Structure 1
Amino acid sequence: MRQVVLASGNAGKLREFAALLAPLGLELLPQTALGVPAAEEPFGTFLENALAKARHASRATGLPALADDSGICVEALGGRPGVWSARWSAMRREEAAAGRRAVAAPGGAGPADTDAANNAQLVADLQGQADRRAHYYCVLVLVRSPDDPQPIVADGSWYGEVLDAPRGAGGFGYDPHFLIPSVGLTAAELDAEAKNRSSHRGRAMRALVERLREGGLTQAGAA
């Protein structure tokens, strides 16, 4: 493999993944640059959604494809937002209108909310909650072809707490509200190198890279 399509148009993810894959001699191309529309994400698990996205991008481009599905899981909310993380604010509005809790993943049901809207909703949901424990989770799936019968899968978690007030200007998503107690900083206050060492995506990517090396799927001589 020389080129891999990233099944996402998220600029933050592209920066993080490209930096982690560069030492292997792999060029990461965002699917938006190749005219590939976003895939539906109708499933209730991170793994199923990531696999659907990877197969969709590979089928549309004829190239190997890498996809992730990730989100923040909050203990006091029963593990939510989870697979709803990208459109948590919209999901909560839909729940309020329907008068019930959603029971199926709505990934393909509408566009992602803004980070500000999602963060504001999460903070509102945790008002009065003493338990602020949370973790980011990421699963990565790489397929060599659309119908690859042996996708390469890796995952990683990153544990912390949710803050009411945002801190830091880096990162994206819920990063300004995600405190890592061991260092006393939010994910948005870490520099890119420190974040890649510790984050759920960094951990998942390192596991994926090891699998790629073991399988001889990177360029010869890559560090």
Structure 2
Amino acid sequence: MSKRLGSGSLVIATHNAGKLKEISALLDPYGVKCISAGSLGLPEPPETGTTFAQNALIKARASAEASGIVSLADDSGLSVAALDGRPGIYTADWAERQHFEGSPGRDWYMAMGKVEGLLAEQGPDTPRDAWFSCVLALAWPDGESVVYEGRIDGSLTWPPRGTLGFGYDPVFVPSGRKETFAELDPAEKHAMSHRADAFAKLVAEQFGA
């Protein structure tokens, strides 16, 4: 790794205001000003990779090339051991797009139900081990890039519990805990999450001594 981030602007390769806010808060102590690809009018590239790292790099490189500014992208999802790692990179796709109160969104209860249904087909003794992965990709306009991978292990429960999380959080119980991600205080969840793990590695390499 020959390049390092300094203070200044960083494009976050997302059109999601919530994700921009979360990442901005994590990088603000290091003097980094985050701007979203959406605010710059950059298109979302097709995610044609077969791994989290490939898709994160596709997004980061597209933003860096289009903006001329160092860019950061993430790709994350849930993997279930008994389902051979599925849904994996298709985590969001398993939650089909629906229209709620007039605006489009994803049906995460449907997605959780799909996972549970596939596990139930394998019988009551099927292991319920699962993990969340997060890959952060940094890309520079000259083509250099680096990735940081984070992970948290746990198991799946049913029925869903808790209202504080999103996505598959209501069915994921992190190892060593009894609560689902959706039952934990958001600050506590974020401190132990797969994204926190990946960010800790990024900060250590990019801003460490």
Range into which the TM-score falls when normalised by the shorter chain: 0.7 to 0.9
- Give yes or no for the alignment of 1:195 onto 2:189: yes
Distance 1:187 1:53, change over 3 A: same
Pick the aligned partner of 1:162 from 156, 162, 173: 156
- Alpha-carbon distance between aligned partners in 1 of 2:133 and 2:105, rounded to the nearest angstrom: 18
Give 2:99's aligned residue. none
Q: Does 1:185 align with 2:179?
A: yes
Q: Which has the higher strand share?
A: 2
Q: 1:185 to 1:118 in 2, by over 3 A?
A: same
Q: Which residue of 2 aligns with 1:126?
A: 119
Question: Any runs of at least 4 consecutive aligned residues in structure 1 with deviations exceeding 4 A, and if so which?
Answer: none
> Counterpart amino acid of 1:192?
P
Report sequence identity in percent.
40
Residue 192 to residue 131, structure 1, CA distance change in 2 (3 Å): same
Aligned-pair distance for 1:152? Answer: 2.5
Q: How many angstroms does 1:37 deviate by?
A: 2.1
More displaced stretch, 40-49 vs 121-130: 121-130
Shift of 1:13: 2.9
Separation (CA, whole Å) in 2 of partners of 1:200 and 1:136: 6
Q: Unpaired runs of 5+ in structure 2?
A: 1-6, 97-103
Alpha carbons 1:17, 1:205 under 8 Å: kept: no
Structure ranking higher in helix proportion: 1
Q: Is the Cα contact below 8 Å between 1:162 and 1:177 reproduced in 2?
A: yes
Q: What secondary structure sits across from 1:67 in the alignment? A: strand
Question: What TM-score does the superposition give when structure 2 sets the normalisation length?
Answer: 0.83
Question: Residues of 2 paired with 1:27 and 1:53: CA distance?
Answer: 19
TM-score (norm 1): 0.78
Question: Residue 136 of structure 1 contacts residue 158 of structure 1 at CA under 8 Å; is this kept in 2?
Answer: yes
Aligned residues: 193
CA RMSD of aligned residues (A): 2.1
